[in-house]
Chain A
Amino acid sequence: MNPLDLLPGKIEELVHELSVLPYNDMHATGPVTEPFVLTNYVVWGIVSLVVVIALFVAVANREKKQMRLALETGEATALAPAGRLAGVMEAGVEFIRDMATDVIGEKDGPKYVPLLGTFFFMIVLSNFIGLIPGGKAWGGAFGGAVALAGISWIVFVFVGFAKNGAFGYLRSLVPSGVREMALPARIGLGGFIFLLEFVSTFLVRPLTLSVRLFANLYAGHVILGVFAAFVSLFFPFVESQLGWSAGGVGVGAVSLVFLVLMYAFELFVAFIQAYVFTILTAVYIQSSVHASEH
């Protein structure tokens, strides 16, 4: 039997498996549409949440103990990172703090570190857990990505209105140069720019934020799935009744190599997408905080 005849069925199966399904019924006919169903994505999301919390609890506890020790003995060496895990987590927190102060500013940045840190650690760890075969990431379902982008949207819109006032924030969408023009140009050009900026700020920003996260994870999973399907279809006796043939073994071996390479690349993408999501949230918050300055 020609393995390529089996491929469309395999891909359909793969896409079906990537959709939002009840956790205990992977063969449900279609994606879940009712809101209160425990889905596969939520189960894996809870797993990643538990992992993040466990990591932070372990590190924070050790940190507290060491701080107490340092205060008691007065020895500065007690302030060194307590082991590799603490070192890694501290590096992550410092990374977020540097990002916040670099992008948002020395004065306003530190306030947003916990928010940006929550985004970063939640997304990056769930992305990694989503790469475990069978695992799912929050952002791998479009709803999850929309929810995360929605929080980012709520935060930057709220900060914009709180810092500049409702009128000030909307007015800042039009550049100050246009605001100082003569009246007809101010209304014509200003109105046009306001419309453009309004759409790009309030609609395109959350849309791209969510679609970027979702598309990268979804496409990554589909690519890995397709290569995995190729391996299982072309290697003899795994799935197809192809039997031994040089062509089948060759295609299977090449697919296996590509599968490994793409897996490494997806690990990189998992990190980069979390980083990009966090830094864009920081940039949006920055543009809201300093809206009245330009």
Chain B
Amino acid sequence: MLFAEYAFASETAAEHGGEGLASTLGSVYPNLAAIWPTWVAFIVLFVLLYKFAFPSIISMLDKRSEAIKESLTKAEETKVEAERLLEEYKVQMAEARAEAGKVIAQSRKVSETMQAEMKVKAEEQAAAIIAKAKQALESEKKAAMVELQGAIAEIAVGAAGKVIGEKLTVEDHAKLIDSYITEMGSLND
């Protein structure tokens, strides 16, 4: 303090003779002429901001954030709805696809069974035709054989009669030849 007073005395003595606190504190002297105007300015600004500016700005901010929140929730709802619809469509699509597959499989099965049935029928018919043809052939053969037997017997009887000379009757000859032929036939079989 002593030094300060000396120092200030040398600097400011001529100007204001050392005004106590103001000159001791120098720049950190809390000047009353600066204090009360600051208070007045602060109070004026506070009242204006508190009454007019902040309510409207803050309500604007709140309204805006509300609107944004609202539109976001709306968008979220729309998205959920869209997803739900998509899921539904997917399920429906899968069902339709499964149905179509079933129908195709069924028709394929039907056609296959029909084919198989037709094949079987055709085979049966063919077999029947063949069997009939065989039967016919057999009976033809039998008839031909019987005819042949008769013819052979007549020829043989004629020939034998010529050889032996009319000693045997026709009936005897026929008996003889028949027995002979059956013998031969049994051997042939």
Direct contact of A and B (CB under 8 A): yes
Q: Does A15 contact B (CB under 8 A)?
A: yes
Q: Which of B29, B49, B57 contacts A63 (CB 8 A)?
A: B57
Residue in B15, B34, B56 whose CB lies within 8 Å of A30:
B15
Instruction: Check A42/B56 contact, CB under 8 A, given A49-B41, A90-B61, A117-B49.
Output: no
Q: How many residues of A contact B (CB 8 A)?
A: 59
Checking A115, A151, A214 against B39 with a beta-carbon cut-off of 8 angstroms, the contacting residue is: A151
Stretch at the interface among A52-60, A249-257, A260-268, A279-287: A52-60
What are 13 of the A-B contact pairs (CB < 8 Å)? A29-B15, A33-B22, A41-B34, A53-B45, A63-B57, A67-B60, A76-B71, A90-B61, A122-B42, A147-B34, A147-B35, A147-B39, A147-B42
Contacts of B50 in A (CB 8 A): 114, 118
For the complex with contacts A30-B23, A49-B41, A79-B64, 12 further pairs of A-B residues with Cβ separation under 8 Å are A41-B34, A45-B38, A49-B45, A59-B57, A60-B52, A66-B60, A90-B57, A138-B34, A141-B34, A143-B30, A151-B42, A211-B28
B60 in complex: contacting residue of A63, A144, A211, CB < 8 Å: A63
Contacts of A36 on B, CB cut-off 8 Å? 33
Q: A198-216: contact bitstring with B at CB < 8 Å (1 yes, 0 no)?
A: 0000000000001100100
A33 x B31 contact (CB < 8 A): yes
Residues from 28 to 47 in A contacting B, C-beta threshold 8 Å: 29-37, 39, 41-42, 45-46
Q: Is A63 a contact of B16 with CB atoms below 8 Å?
A: no
What are the residues of chain A within 8 A of B22 when measuring CB–CB?
30-31, 33
The distance from the CB of A151 to the nearest CB of chain B, in whole angstroms, is 6
Q: Which residues of B contact A19 (CB under 8 A)?
A: 27
Within the complex, what minimum Cβ distance (angstroms) separates A60 from chain B?
Answer: 5
Whether A67 pairs with B56 at a CB distance below 8 angstroms is yes
Q: Is A129 an interface residue (CB 8 A)?
A: no
Q: Is the CB of A52 within 8 A of B35?
A: no
Q: Which residues of B contact A45 (CB under 8 A)?
A: 37-38, 41
Contact present for B29 and A147 (CB under 8 Å)? no
> How long is the Cα–Cα vector from A76 to B63 in the complex, in angstroms?
9
Task: Name the distance in Å between B143's Cβ and chain A's nearest Cβ.
Answer: 111
Q: Which residue of chain A is the closest to B59 with respect to CB atoms?
A: A67
Residues of B within 8 A of A94 (CB): 61
B180 interfacial by beta-carbon distance below 8 Å: no
CB distance from A182 to the nearest CB of B (A): 44
Per CB-CB distance, the 8 closest pairs between chain A and chain B, nearest first, are A143-B34, A147-B38, A143-B31, A35-B32, A56-B53, A141-B34, A114-B50, A146-B30
Chain B residues engaging chain A, CB cutoff 8 angstroms: 12, 15-16, 19, 22-23, 27-39, 41-42, 44-46, 48-50, 52-54, 56-61, 63-64, 67-68, 70-71
Whether the Cβ atoms of A29 and B37 lie closer than 8 Å is: no
Choose among B46, B48, B63 the residue that contacts A79 (Cβ–Cβ < 8 A). Answer: B63
Residues of A122-177 contacting chain B, CB below 8 A: 122, 138, 141-144, 146-148, 150-151
Residues in A with CB closer than 8 Å to B37 are 39, 41-42, 45, 144
Question: B36 near A60 (CB under 8 angstroms)?
Answer: no
Q: B19 — nearest CB in chain A belongs to which residue? A: A33
Q: Are B38 and A143 in contact (CB under 8 A)?
A: yes
Check if A214 sits within 8 Å of B28, measured CB to CB: yes
Q: What residue of chain B has the Cβ atom nearest to residue A53's Cβ?
A: B48
Residue of A nearest to B38 (CB): A147
Given A15-B27, A29-B15, A76-B71, answer yes or no on A143-B33 (Cβ-Cβ < 8 Å). Answer: yes
Q: Hey, what's the 0/1 contact readout for A53-81 against B, CB within 8 Å counting as 1?
A: 10011011001101100100000100110
Chain B residue at smallest Cβ distance from A33: B22
- Contact (Cβ within 8 A) A39 B34: yes
Instruction: State whether the Cβ of A93 lies closer than 8 Å to any Cβ in chain B.
Output: yes
Across the interface, B56 reaches (CB within 8 A) one of A64, A148, A211, namely: A64
CA distance A60 to B45 in the complex (A): 14
**A148 to chain B: which residues have CB within 8 Å?**
38, 42
Q: Are B33 and A60 in contact (CB under 8 A)?
A: no
Within 8 A of B (CB), among A64-110: 64, 66-67, 70, 76, 79-80, 89-90, 93-94, 97
Q: How far is the CB of A88 from chain B (nearest CB, A)?
A: 12
Residues of B within 8 A of A79 (CB): 60, 63-64, 67
Interface residue from A37, A42, A93, A211 paired with B58 (Cβ < 8 Å): A93
Structural contact, B45 and A147, CB atoms closer than 8 A? no
CA distance A63 to B46 in the complex (A): 19
Closest chain-B Cβ to A96's Cβ sits at a distance in Å of 9
